[in-house]
Chain A
Amino acid sequence: MRRTSFKMTLLKLRESQIMKIHYLTGICAVFFVAIHILFRVVMPFGQSLEYQNVIANYHNIYYVVLLELILIFVSIHGFNGLRIILLELKQSDRWESIMTILVLAAMIGIIAYGTRTIIVGSGL
């Protein structure tokens, strides 16, 4: 019952609230991806992708938090963008509800799988 009401709350968000989240996650994603790129250019690019350097990154707690934030912001922003495209593709209440639920489920799935990868990589 509680899970249903949580799902319904997400589905019943006003479009302006969703778009606020969309714009904020977009700005945050640009900011954190810029930091991520700066992290990569402190050493030659090829060297930064060597096995021990990648593992070392995953063991740096600040870097792990950064990766998790990027994952969350990019997923929310990207999947909402996909939802908007799908809504414009066809106009019917049934289609819109199904697409919103599917996109939401895919977003949660991607965040969960990405978080798992980050946790496994970091050895937490």
Chain B
Amino acid sequence: MSEEQNKIKLRVYRTNYSNDYSPRFDEYDIAVKRWTTVLDALLDAKAYSDSSIAIRYSCRMASCGSCGMKINGKPRLACYTKISELNSHTIVCEPLANFPRIRDLVTDFSQFFAHHKKIEPYVHNENVPTEVSNNDDLVEFKQTPEEVDKYLQFSYCIKCGLCYSACPTVATDAKFPGPQALSQAYRYMADNRDDGEKKRFKIIDERHGIWRCHFAGSCSNVCPKGVDPALGIQLLKGHLMGVSKHDKKIARVRTKEE
């Protein structure tokens, strides 16, 4: 971006559902540099132009997944999107689609987290005590790097909701768990410490479950962490159909002597 082009127009979607305001776009002129992110621009507008802009953010380094929003029509993390890479002098910020809106760019994640929670996203293993009061009772598993590789990319998910927002099935079917929850179901199925796949399969193998994914692939296209939820969903479908090779052996708990 040349020095003459260092001013952009930031268009921010404004509304407040509790006060029944009609939605509108407010415009702010922001001075930007090569490394300025959309979040920096929004915070600049909030600091110097309009303090009432509502934004949710925290880490500013694509780790917390709080600042997801639609930027120039595509779900992105505001802290991870540089204005220079958008190649536009007008940056339009809107709340994420497929989420109930609260105020301005802030959306309600309750339903999204409910879907995530429903698939029981934690290691199920009967050999592991669920409550440990004594440190000596803690156990660990033996897992090879190859076994870790099977689920590693899916464990990078930061629950930012961008995939959920991009999913065309979520847009029409509120009961569909969405790509995030389904890819997490695969993440635990592929993890050889977990033996809860039967339970999890029952949860996702229903009318509004995994089979309503039409493989649009938008989820993988927008993930800021390089996770491929569409791949996880297709692999999970393969397991449910019984066409994928399933050679998972539950990992052994490491003994005290080891």
Cβ of B102 under 8 Å from chain A: no
Query: Could you tell me if B173 and A20 are in contact, using CB atoms closer than 8 angstroms?
Result: no
Say whether B212 faces chain A, with CB atoms less than 8 Å apart: yes
Mask of A85-124 contacts with B, CB within 8 angstroms, 1/0: 0011101000010000000000000000000000000000
Task: Give chain A residues whose Cβ lies under 8 Å from the Cβ of B208.
Answer: 87, 91
Which residues of the other chain, A, contact B209 by a CB distance below 8 angstroms? 15
Which of B173, B174, B207 is the one whose CB lies under 8 Å from A15? B207
Q: Tell me if B50 counts as interface (CB < 8 A to partner A).
A: no
A-B contact pairs, 29 of them (CB 8 A): A14-B205, A14-B206, A15-B205, A15-B206, A15-B207, A15-B209, A15-B210, A15-B211, A16-B205, A16-B211, A16-B240, A16-B241, A18-B211, A19-B211, A19-B241, A20-B241, A23-B241, A84-B211, A84-B212, A87-B173, A87-B207, A87-B208, A88-B169, A88-B172, A88-B173, A88-B212, A89-B172, A91-B208, A96-B207
The reply on B89 being an interface residue by CB < 8 A is no
Mark A53-89 against chain B: 1 for CB-CB distance below 8 A, else 0: 0000000000000000000000000000000100111
Closest residue of A by beta carbon distance from B174: A91
A15 proximity list for chain B (CB < 8 A): 205-207, 209-211
Cβ-closest chain A residue relative to B173: A88
Size of interface on B: residues with Cβ below 8 Å to A: 15
Secondary structure dominating the interface of A: helix
A16 to B244, CA, bound (A): 14
Kindly state the separation between the CA atoms of A52 and B205 in the bound complex, as whole angstroms: 50
Residues of A with C-beta under 8 A to B211: 15-16, 18-19, 84
CA distance A23 to B205 in the complex (A): 16
* Closest 5 A/B residue pairs (Cβ): A16-B240, A15-B211, A16-B205, A91-B175, A88-B173
Residues on B with C-beta less than 8 A from A87 are 173, 207-208, 212
Interface string of B162-178 (1 = CB under 8 A from A): 00000001001111000
Inter-chain pairs besides A14-B205, A16-B240, A19-B241, 8 sampled, C-beta below 8 Å: A15-B207, A15-B210, A15-B211, A16-B205, A16-B241, A18-B211, A19-B211, A20-B241
Smallest CB-CB separation from A17: which chain B residue? B205
Within 8 A of B (CB), among A10-31: 14-16, 18-20, 23
